[in-house]
């Protein structure tokens, strides 16, 4: 059996990939201490107070989490992707993820089914205001389906979450808990 078939442990591989300035513990193995992340300052953080600021809209918590996207201008494709990311990050519960990620316009038969009934073709790449859509959905559920309290509460919870995410990035907006 040649050298290329010899078993190699993860520790051997890991120790070989270390840089010379990697801190080592007292046992000589690589240190496993957590390294704190330094906060990322916004581009205008270094400006003086007397400087004229741009009239750009203030970033939202959602924009900070998603790299600049806005809940008031997402496409169904983006909402499906972002809701998965929010679920993976622990921001969404699975039930909320199911409701946010389900975008009927992404289904290939949309134009033959729902589109045929509404007269509007699918627009999976057309931006929508998801906060307004969920406000309308909550009003609809309260008006036409008040006996289904579970669905009404889930819709309220999602709307509260969207309103919180649409708030300021420091989290000083609405509370996340519904």
Distance, first Cα to last Cα, the chain: 63
> Cα torsion for 107, 110, 114, 119, to the nearest 10°?
150
pLDDT, tens digit, 9 for 90 and up, residues 105-129: 999 999 999 989 999 999 999 999 9
61 confidence band (pLDDT: 50, 70, 90): confident
Residue 60 pLDDT exceeds 90: no
Q: With contact defined as beta carbons under 8 Å apart, do 48 and 34 qualify?
A: no
Where is pLDDT greater, at 35 or 148? 148
**What are the tokens at 32?**
């496993």
Burial of 60 per CB tally in 10 Å (0-12, 13-18, 19+): buried
Dist CA 57 CA 73 (whole Å): 13
The residue-averaged pLDDT of 84-90 equals: 90
CA distances to 7, 44, 56 from 52, in Å: 63, 10, 12
The secondary structure of residue 129, as a DSSP letter, is -
68 confidence band (pLDDT: 50, 70, 90): confident
pLDDT of residue 155: 94
Nearest CA to 165 among 95, 89, 71?
A: 71
pLDDT, tens digit, 9 for 90 and up, residues 166-175: 887 665 555 5
Residue 45 pLDDT exceeds 70: no
87 confidence band (pLDDT: 50, 70, 90): very high
**What are the tokens at 36?**
């704190």
Q: Does the predicted TM-score (pTM) go above 0.75?
A: no
The proportion of the chain whose per-residue pLDDT surpasses 70, expressed as a percent, equals 62
* Neighbouring C-beta atoms of residue 153, cutoff 10 Å: 12
Q: Name, of 50-54, 89-93, 114-118, 139-143, the range with top average pLDDT.
A: 139-143
Residue 103 pLDDT exceeds 90: yes
The secondary structure of residue 73, as a DSSP letter, is S
14 confidence band (pLDDT: 50, 70, 90): very low
Task: Return mean pLDDT, the chain.
Answer: 77
């Amino acid at each position: 059996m040649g050298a290329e078939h010899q078993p190699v442990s993860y520790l051997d591989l890991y120790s070989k990939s270390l840089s010379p300035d990697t801190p080592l513990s007292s046992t000589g193995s690589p240190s496993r201490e957590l390294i704190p992340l330094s906060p990322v300052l916004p581009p205008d953080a270094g400006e003086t107070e007397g400087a004229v600021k741009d009239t750009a809209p203030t970033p939202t918590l959602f924009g900070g989490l998603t790299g600049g996207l806005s809940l008031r201008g997402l496409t169904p494709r983006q909402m499906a992707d972002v809701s998965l990311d929010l679920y993976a990050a622990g921001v969404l519960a699975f039930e909320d993820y199911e409701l946010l990620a389900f975008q009927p316009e992404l289904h290939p038969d949309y134009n033959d089914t729902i589109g045929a009934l509404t007269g509007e073709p699918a627009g999976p790449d057309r931006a929508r205001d998801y906060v307004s859509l969920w406000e309308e959905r909550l009003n609809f559920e309260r008006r036409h389906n008040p006996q289904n309290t579970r669905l009404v509460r889930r819709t309220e919870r999602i709307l509260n979450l969207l309103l919180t995410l649409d708030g300021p990035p420091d989290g000083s907006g609405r509370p996340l808990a519904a």
